[in-house]
Structure 1
């Protein structure tokens, strides 16, 4: 019989392992053992170190080690033998399979490196998002959340319920093309009425975020050379989605009242707009413009996709009804998501439209992804039903209002010749830089000093007369904002010289 193996060096790291809140030493040891088995340190059939030896090496009680080993046995990763010998299960597969393929070397591929894929999208424009924003000292990055603002305790309470025996039966079954009824009901009774919108169950579809919704709507309505209109500046990804589906795209400028509806070309088939919080300037479309857009859509027969991002985050002033609330007909399509109010990583959104459009989108969604995560749907539905969501929104609005005031107060003081449009809510400020200052070199200089912003010029079809930056405040703490703006002012001053 094989003797228990010696304790590998890898276990030395366990001595400094930080036991997370809510876990035990046994659970930490168990996780380390599983990792070593997965990494191939212990292979199928290997004897594990003796419980006494491992306990002495790691300064743990022997009972703790025995308990961790027994859990490995229960989970099918190990087996126990006489004299307290534990061995890695024969069912554990090797981490690396032998390399497959024909012997010898293949001739060099003359087309290697060339894009020959018929459906390639690599040439389409896209907004650059620096993946290192989390380590930035001053992350004025848009679209990310501050973990400190996430309702961790209440979210954990909902997940605990979902992970119970009764809860598991809700989200583990195959639902085909159905949506979570509790989330649909929560949208109908809580979320949508706050925007003046009322809808029936068959007028709502859950999606894998707003982006997924926009892609499916475009595939349904603009995949045959239709004439589409987007805002300028605007959402670059939407332009790419339209173009890859074969639409002919026209850009219409925005001003202090939002999309200039009089500039929409006659004969347009589809309009994409962001009325409540124009992307990226955060300007709100006036009631006058909303009415004019609805009148033209009704008269000329084009569809309007209304992206309601950030619409649940007003922190002052009155709330205007969304376009579909003003004209709940076939031509108005409302898109929303939980990315800005909960977290973008949840990838949960929704579409509100006519029954006919929702029925078609449901069939299309089934072909693309079948259905969004039933677990996430159930969690959000219960989170809203429990009253946690509205309580969270109130805190979030207050937090963002405080950050907005800190940002704009400092901007007025340190960059008086820069311009920005005051907003009533949302998560970002659109900053027009002083004359002669270009966003590209400023962006690079700020990056070197740990200040992450967004180059606003990338949202325009053509370079604007005066460069712009977008400053997000959803992921930066209020106390860091003044110093971050001070660095921006210093770099602007340096570029003037």
Structure 2
């Protein structure tokens, strides 16, 4: 039996080459069970004419599938679905009536009730996307990243691609972080004091699981990164919320029974406040008095385009009580999910063991690709390019905010990629954000960053990493008009 040529069609905006798309189309047909063993495929000439592609494209796709045992060739008769092709199992699904499992009772813990900032999947279609933490396609060095990824796929890097590191990391990536990234923050660390993580959030989770239990107390900033707060709530430790001021976390307000202090001194999340050096010393002194540990989330330090970043807390620490957390999510792209943590060797040993129990290690290919991208200078070039563009956008957003009389609650003194805003007291920015979506404007409500029951509802965040300079002014105008209407 022959497979009808009408079964085949290619999407206009399909990913990859025409040969790859056709190869995927046939393979998916076999794997899904639509194409059966022994069925004959259309001739290369007939299929090429039907799809409007060259005959050699079809022939190459058939040849590749033949090599992978999806197809078999029978002399001059043509190509057929191979008997050795992977086929879906045949079974009769069990029909379930109404489920009787009481999931409220079955789930010993619940994680779906926490705060989560909803970012629309189609945010790139918004005309004015003041979204935070997303990559700008125009700024990302896609060509060189692709070259590094291809290089990491080579025979020389076969072990890093396919091997199981168990609890170890890519030595090239660790070496670059130790020799180039950390010294820029004044930090000296040996390889055994560095652990690669799946982003900063994974690092924060590891730190909380190791340092905290239900008998210990953690102090966190208010407002703060909402995922950190929920993560600590699930750890069942005692929590103290420290209201931040224009200089970040006030050390004197930290309770006497605190065991771990979580802070974002370079760019406080979300207010963007930068902790002065004097307060950093005061925080270290307070931690020494309490014999407490400090977890320092140093996100966005690379985005200090208005001045040199202040030294990291870890670089000023003489006691070994600071755990440093860094990430490539903002400087490269969030989908990479690569970060790192630095701490004393005994702590990193425990973190490495815990990580291996959960996910062993981040994918070796991603680690090696990132190592090449960093070590070949592409990363620094991208940071310089991003910094220049963000500075222009920062100037545009500052000018537009002033022109339309909007109130700034916090702006990164040294740079960053967002501004913390405050609407009039009567405005609920959650509703404001929904109303603005109808005008193709995206802003991020600030309520979920605050702790407690009576959360302020009139704050919002404007990110400018993914909106062009020429659209910032009109976008701010739309926000100002929406606030006046409210």
Instruction: Tell me if TM exceeds 0.5.
Output: yes
Partners of 2:274 and 2:412 within 8 A in 1: no
Q: Provide structure 2 residue ranges, at least 5 long, that are not aligned to the other structure.
A: none
**What's the secondary structure of 2:41's corresponding residue?**
coil
Q: Deviations over 1:372-396 (max 9, x none)?
A: 1111111111111111111111111
Contact 1:210 1:335 in 2 (8 A): yes
Displacement of 1:78 in angstroms is 0.4
Query: Secondary structure of the equivalent of 1:217?
Result: helix
The corresponding residue for 1:482 is 473
Per-residue deviation, 1:476: 1.6
Matches within 5 A, 1:185-204: 185-204=175-194
Please state how far the C-alpha of 1:133 moved relative to its aligned partner. Answer: 2.1
Are residues 1:323 and 2:321 paired? no
Q: Deviations over 1:434-486 (max 9, x none)?
A: 34323122122112222111111221124456721101111222222111111
Aligned to 2:482: 491
For residues 174 and 20 of structure 1, the distance between their equivalents in structure 2, rounded to whole angstroms, comes to 30
Tell me the residue number matched to 1:469. 460
Whole-angstrom CA distance in 1 between matches of 2:235 and 2:14: 50
Q: Deviations over 1:55-103 (max 9, x none)?
A: 33234444433332122101211000122321112233444642344xx
Alignment correspondent of 2:354: 364
Residue 85 of structure 1 pairs with residue 86 of structure 2? no
Q: For each residue in 1:134-187, what CA deviation from the matched residue of structure 2 results, as whole angstroms up to 9, or x when unmatched?
A: 332221111111122111121122112112221223321121111111111100
Q: How does 1:14-33 map to 2 (within 5 A)?
A: 14=10, 17=12, 23=17, 25-33=18-26
1:356 Cα offset (Å): 0.6
1:34 aligns with 2:32: no
Does structure 2 retain, via aligned residues, the 8 Å contact 1:206–1:351?
yes
How big is the alpha-carbon RMSD for the aligned residues of Structure 1 and Structure 2? Answer: 2.1
| 1: CA distance, partners of 2:357 / 2:410 | 44
| 2:288 matches 1:284 | no
Q: Distance in 2 between matches of 1:472 and 1:447?
A: 15
Please, which moves more after superposition, 440-449 or 336-345?
440-449
Name the CA distance, whole Å, in 1 between partners of 2:90 and 2:234: 39
In structure 2, what is the Cα distance between the partners aligned to 1:137 and 1:186? 38
Select 2:3's aligned residue among 5, 11, 18: 5
Deviation string, structure 1 residues 204-247 (Cα, Å, up to 9, x no partner) = 11111111111111000002421111101111111111121121
Instruction: Give aligned pairs, total.
Output: 485
Q: Which residue among 265, 284, 296 is the counterpart of 2:286?
A: 296
Q: TM-score, normalised by structure 1?
A: 0.92
Whether 2:398 is the aligned partner of 1:404: answer: no
Counterpart contact for 1:5–1:50, Cα < 8 Å: no
Q: Deviations over 1:295-318 (max 9, x none)?
A: 011122001000011111100123
TM-score normalised to structure 2 length:
0.94
Within 5 Å, give how 1:396-475 maps onto structure 2.
396-417=386-407, 419-421=409-411, 423-462=413-452, 463=454, 467-475=458-466
3-state SS, counterpart of residue 160 of structure 1: helix
Q: Secondary structure at the match of 2:104?
A: coil
- C-alpha spacing 1:343/1:80, structure 2 compared with 1 (3 Å): same
